[in-house]
Chains A and B, each alone.
Chain A
Amino acid sequence: MPRKFWPKIVFFLSVMGPGIIAASADNDAGGISTFSIVGAHFGFKMLWVLLLSTISLAITQEMGVRIGLVTKQGLGGVMRESFGVKWTAFAMLTMLVANLCTITSEFAGIASSFEIFDISKYIVVPIAALIVWLVLYKGSFKAAQKIFLILSAFYIVYIINGFVVKPDFGEALKGLVTPTVEWTVPFLMTMIAVIGTTITPWGQFFIQSYVVDKGLNIKHYKAEKIEVLAGAFIVATIGFFIVVGTATTLLESGINITNAKDAAMALQPIAGNFSQALFAFGLFCASMLGAFILPVATSYALCGAFGWEYGFNTTWKNGKEFYTIILGSITIPAILVLIPKINLIKVMLLAQDVNGMLLPVILIFVMKIINNKKIMGEYTNKPIGNTIAWLTIISIITATIILVGASVFGIYN
């Protein structure tokens, strides 16, 4: 039977699973800027946080996959059936806030990438928002997702760059395994941001609904587990090389990242004068990928939990909640980014902080579900998974409390 070229490509992309997609989307605008800041401001000191959050990313994503495979329902749906409306509403509100922040950081990323060429955000952001909406409403979400996924292969540049700058890998590895904490507000904030950009509330919803929509069942568990591990590994590798690259170039020249141009300088060793254009391109693609996925993921999760009709084959009349949520989660963040004089890099970092701080709420729900025999049957958590997940939850909560305390009592230096 003669086969065409395109179906083959599409087939290849369709077997590329949720773990890798979520991982690529994880390294979005917030990911690039957070890791750049980590390297430029703290050198290798925070690499251990990256390592630990990657491990717990793999653990939590695997739990999401398992819940999806067993219950065949999205996380919102499972919450609704096991905790009732009030708790679900609370969890959903948490997710909504986190997601709106993340989408804001995506638009901030889009704005920053054009700022490099001195194009005003007042032109770029409305156009980008309009494109996202039109593609989602009239065009194909899946096609857009695939295009930007391919383009996000740009990250390879960071990996190559990581070698070109000839970093001290010995020191880097030491940073990876030696926990160091500075009890200062900037350090703690950046630390929570690293966790928040790696493990996200939306990622937890995304991976589970992806598994359900693809109709996978427990037979696919092993394959999916490997995929999730691969995804986590990709996140960690890219994050690692961004940190190594920026630490070696920016930290040593004493540059503080205050805008995208500063962050772009990390790519100078590999791209020379093109570094700014290259960085802008990468940041733009990563941000667009997030800007496409997140509004849809938000709307899917909310509609699934509250029983509104959803999916792009619903009409505006039947799916009015579905489309309203998408529209709202594009426009509100876009408008926030347009506030005059805000620092786009700070917006991106703060958004990751909010994600990190809200993450425990979602993870506690996930833990409650995955340890419930009535729901999971024989597929409840093993002690090791429980330990790591609870440690993650407790450390984030502790870090958040200390951060808030530090801010209030002014230990800021």
Chain B
Amino acid sequence: MLFFSTILGAKVIDSADEVVGKVTDVLIKTDKERKYPPLIGAIIKHKKKELFIPAEIIESWGPGEMELDRKINGDSKEIPSGKNIVSLRHSVLDKQIVDLAGMRVVRVNDLQIGRVQQTMSLIAIDVSTRGLLRRLGLSSPSLNKIWRPHLIEWKNISPLDNKIHLHTGANDLLKLHPADIANIIERMNVNQSSTLLESMDKATAARVLEEVQPSIKKILVKSLGAGRAAGLMGKMSVDELVDIMQLLPKYESHEILKKLPTTSERASVKKLMEYDEDTAGGLMTTEFISVYPSTTVEEVIEKIKSTLHHPRHASLFVYVIDRQGKFKGVVPLKKLIVASKSQEMQEIMSQKRKARTVRANYDLLSVATLMTKYNLLSVAVLDDEKRILGIITVDDVMREFVPNA
């Protein structure tokens, strides 16, 4: 196993057995096809000058000594640069990276190098304390017993430094669940996390932002600025949106409100913000499917299909209301599936008397108690005239009890 720390600072010996300099850096070339990026050469210090040594003329990379297969005449060759040329010393070593497999942010202690199909390549990143001790020159068998080696394959990492390749990194990150990305984001500094959020598409970024811890969410929204934050938040469900607004100082939430993409959203957010966040009114979302008693099953199914583009639209139940908006009953999806297409809602809905509902001023605990007692996945929120204001789903309640998950 060859480590970058044993190459850095190594003596460079040419074919005439003369010491020509010291290794100061190694460059790699990243490309998407190859799992392990090849080393394209080393930069050495030769007579106080930086000199690029291409990989082809390096016979042995180390450890401790780099041997070349010809003589060096000192002509300085241009140091290659470009978007996919990465300096291991300046852009990778000691930097923070995202470990996609372990889903956390770590610091690069050392790099492992090896031959892959005859080409010297970067294989893995060492994030272990062992790597740290090796760098400090304190590596010894007895100390190594305490810390396990921890290598992360290059393909499983995502550099955080925004100067390099965040786009490829972000693509890999996107394969994770939004909640897991949120956990990673909570570990980054604001600079890194807002860059990362911006590199994602808006819908994903919105779902990630929803999952981030409230305190960090607040900071993130602030650092994104009202304009960009509103763009993301337009993709969120209204109740999540309101949750964020309530975290922010008044003038900032107004700023965002003004910039929300659609007016209907703006209106419902405004309405929801009037409720205290610990009450049913504050917990609820205004996004639900409501139908009239005379609507047929077929029509309802069409309506559900038309809301599919909105992924956060809770559609486990449809709510039956009359022309005045008064709550009449609720129909679970299961019933819709087994009913015949021509049946009307009033035939298959659970009656108002039997269906449990809450008032907007109920506190969190009573909502949770009711939902637990009657095993409800969602519950309708009514005003004093029995008009339906919104619904609370079980995940909204769970979030209140386990805020940091």
Contact = CB atoms under 8 A, between A and B. Distances in A.
A307 B191 contact: no
B42 to A, nearest CB: 18
B109 A215 contact: no
Nearest to A309: B104
Contacts of B135: 84-86
Nearest to B128: A307
Interface in B235-287: 246, 273-276
Interface stretch (B14-22, B203-211, B219-227): B219-227
Interface residues of A, number: 23
A85 B110 CA distance: 10
Nearest to A311: B187
Interface stretch (A35-43, A72-80, A129-137): A72-80
Interface in B299-355: none
B35 interface: no
Contacts of B95: 81
Given A72-B190, A72-B191, A307-B96, A215 B136 contact: no
Contacts of A215: 190, 216, 219-220, 222-223
B192 to A, nearest CB: 8
**How many B residues touch the partner, as a band?**
20 to 34
B136 A313 contact: no
B95 to A, nearest CB: 6
A1 B276 contact: yes
Contacts of B108: 307
B94 interface: yes
Contacts of B189: 72-73, 212
Interface string B97-122: 00000001011110000000000000
A313 B405 CA distance: 10
A86 B94 CA distance: 11
B274 A1 contact: yes
Q: Is the interface of A mostly helix, strand, loop or mixed?
A: loop
A81 B94 contact: yes
Contact of B132 (A214, A306, A318): A306
A306 B190 contact: no
Interface string A288-318: 0000000000000000001111010100001
A89 interface: yes
Contacts of A170: none
Contacts of A311: 187
Interface in A314-362: 318, 321
Nearest to A82: B94
The interface centre, meaning the residue of A84, A85, A86, A318 with most chain B CB atoms within 10 A of its CB, is A85
A145 interface: no
A2 interface: yes
Given A215-B190, A307-B127, A86 B222 contact: no
Contact of A89 (B106, B136, B246): B136
A217 interface: yes
B276 A217 contact: no
A85 B136 contact: yes
Nearest to A310: B187
A363 to B, nearest CB: 22
A2 B96 CA distance: 43
B107 A86 contact: no
A77 B96 contact: yes
A112 B223 CA distance: 46
Nearest to A77: B96
B129 interface: yes
Contact of A307 (B106, B216, B220, B275): B106
Nearest to B134: A85
B219 A214 contact: yes
B94 A84 contact: yes
A146 to B, nearest CB: 15
B295 interface: no
B137 to A, nearest CB: 8
Given A2-B276, A85-B136, A217 B107 contact: no
Given A72-B190, A80-B107, A215-B190, A306 B129 contact: yes
B404 interface: yes
B94 A80 contact: yes
Nearest to B250: A1
A86 B220 contact: no
Given A1-B273, A214-B219, A215-B222, A85 B94 contact: yes
Contacts of B107: 77, 80, 306-307
B136 A217 contact: no
A311 B404 CA distance: 13
A404 B132 CA distance: 35
Nearest to A73: B189
B109 A307 contact: yes
A307 B274 CA distance: 44
B193 to A, nearest CB: 9
B223 A217 contact: yes
Contacts of B192: 72
Contacts of B190: 72, 212, 215, 217
Contacts of B104: 309, 318
B404 to A, nearest CB: 6
Interface string A202-221: 00000000001011010000
A309 B104 CA distance: 8
A306 to B, nearest CB: 6
Contacts of A309: 104, 106, 187
A60 B173 CA distance: 39
A89 B134 CA distance: 13
A398 to B, nearest CB: 31
Contacts of A84: 93-94, 135
Interface in A63-98: 72-73, 77, 80-81, 84-86, 89
A32 to B, nearest CB: 33
Interface of A: 1-2, 72-73, 77, 80-81, 84-86, 89, 212, 214-215, 217, 306-309, 311, 313, 318, 321
Closest CB pairs A-B (n = 9): A307-B107, A215-B219, A72-B191, A215-B190, A85-B135, A72-B189, A80-B94, A307-B106, A81-B94
10 contacts: A73-B189, A81-B94, A85-B132, A85-B135, A89-B136, A212-B189, A217-B190, A217-B223, A308-B129, A309-B106
Given A2-B276, A81-B95, A307-B106, 15 more contacts: A1-B276, A72-B189, A73-B189, A85-B109, A214-B219, A215-B216, A217-B223, A306-B107, A306-B132, A307-B107, A307-B108, A307-B109, A307-B132, A313-B186, A313-B404
